[in-house]
Amino acid sequence: MTSHTLLRSLISASSVPGASMAVIRDGALTMTAVGVRDNVKGEPVDDQTVFDAASLSKPMVAYAVLQLVDAGMINLDEALSAYVSPIVEDSPAAARITTRHILTHTSGLPNLWSKDPPQVHFHPGTRFSYSSVGFSYLQRAIEAITGESLETNMKRLVFEPLGMRSSSFEWQHQFANNVAQPHENDERLEKHHPPRASASYSLQTTATDYGAFLAAVLSGDRLQEATSKQWLSPAINATKGTAEHLESLPTESEKDIGWGLGWGLELSRCTFFQWGKISGVRAFVMGSRLERSGVVLFANSNTGLRLMSDIVCAVLPGEHPAIQWLQTCVSED
């Protein structure tokens, strides 16, 4: 079965209006796009359709940060409070948060912002709890250290070197001509336009562009060898059955799922992964340097992660504990 036939069959069975996918097999990149970007207008998805990447933003920011590490501008283990005020005032724990803590999701910060000020729920570096708030704090530090906006840093370090001409952490008006509208349970939603660049979620991109980034991850392009290796080396194991765990010590950790410097890791498979979720959009990426292969998938529906198991197994055959973990952790709400 071809990738196009498989993806078309899967979106039909999963009530997904449209999807775009980049596949790398043994270093060769191919593109597949199926369905519609808007179930009202019926306009087709193609390989230049712009999607919300959601949390697929995070590994790309990590890539830029590690280039700054190689350039001597950032020390992974230096407290970010040396450059910006701590994210929680008068908190000794917050003042100790480092870049490494944020990239490995061990900062102790919550995943999402709420009406209450954030707090550090455990000593940084001691355990895993997924945190988008942490990436917002890291963004402030990056901008202070470089004297440039996140968008400018990403253009210089990622988009321009990798030829990603349809990517931005800020909404661009030209995207409106070919953008995927979000859908919740078959109902079309208005497209979210990020009010400002956000390191945790605001990347607007195509599967073609993200495929170019995935190729750079697989090859270790633009990173020193030791840094590239550390990027995909496990620093801590994920918590059993949940991504966010703040209030008490977890009773059990995932034996085969860890976290590196911005990537989730399947420890026995030596694969890396990340998922994305915002209203009406789902995204997923997984790759293996050993197999020189990987896949990135964007879907304009809250049911989009239903596609990931069959797609991943077609590209990287075998058992994938990350898929089982995400099926538990990531809801369709």
The ranges of the chain with pLDDT < 70 are none
Q: In sequence order, which ranges of the chain are alpha helices (DSSP H)?
A: 3-13, 57-70, 92-95, 99-103, 132-146, 150-154, 207-219, 225-231, 308-315, 321-329
pLDDT of residue 251: 82
pLDDT of residue 299: 98
Q: Are 319 and 268 in contact (CB under 8 A)?
A: no
Residues belonging to the chain: 333
Largest Cα separation within the chain, whole Å, is 59
The amino acid present at 208, given as its one-letter code, is T
CATH architecture of 3-329: 3-Layer(aba) Sandwich (3.40)
Put simply, whether the predicted model's pTM sits higher than 0.85 gets the answer yes
Tokens of 54: 């959601």
pLDDT of residue 162: 98
DSSP-assigned beta bridge partners for residue 288: 271, 293
pLDDT of residue 250: 83
Of the candidates 196, 207, 90, 195, the one whose C-alpha atom is nearest the C-alpha of residue 150 is 196
pLDDT of residue 133: 98
Q: Given the structure tokens 């900062």, which residue do they identify?
A: 107
Q: How far is CA 313 from the centre of its chain?
A: 20
Q: Write out pLDDT tens, residues 205-219.
A: 999 999 999 999 999
pLDDT of residue 1: 79
pLDDT of residue 91: 96
CA distance 13 to 7: 10
pLDDT of residue 68: 98
The domain limits of the chain are 3-329
